[in-house]
Amino acid sequence: MSIVKVTRKRQITLPKKICDSLGISPGDYVRVYIDENGKIIVEKAFSIDQLAGSLNPSRPLENLAEDLDEDRKVITLKELKAAASSPRISPVL
């Protein structure tokens, strides 16, 4: 356990041992939050660039915009059909 001081700017310095155990290096981002028991939790936050390398896309990225548009159309159509079958809502189709 380590004790750290909070500065006037509410900043703290994480001890080297803790940084090493969490894999935190200078310049990294960390996620800080309070858990359900009121404890402060510090976790290494991964950047989009770090996560992107771990992804295995199921579709080629070249057509991403077109694929997203098509997915939105399918979702919207499903939502409209669900709304049309609801007795409370009478959508205009």
Q: How many domains, the chain?
A: 2
Divide the 93 residues of the chain into consecutive groups of 10 and give the mean pLDDT of each group. 93 93 90 91 78 64 79 88 70 59
Nearest to 27 by CA among 12, 51, 44: 44
- Letter for the amino acid at 58? S
Cα 46 to its chain centre, rounded Å, is 9
Task: Specify whether 47 is located in the same domain as 66.
Answer: no
Q: State the residue for tokens 């694929």.
A: 67
CATH number at residue 52: 2.10.260.10
- Could you tell me the residue range of the domain that residue 38 belongs to? 1-56
pLDDT at 83: 76
Task: Specify whether 32 is located in the same domain as 65.
Answer: no
Task: Specify whether 40 is located in the same domain as 62.
Answer: no
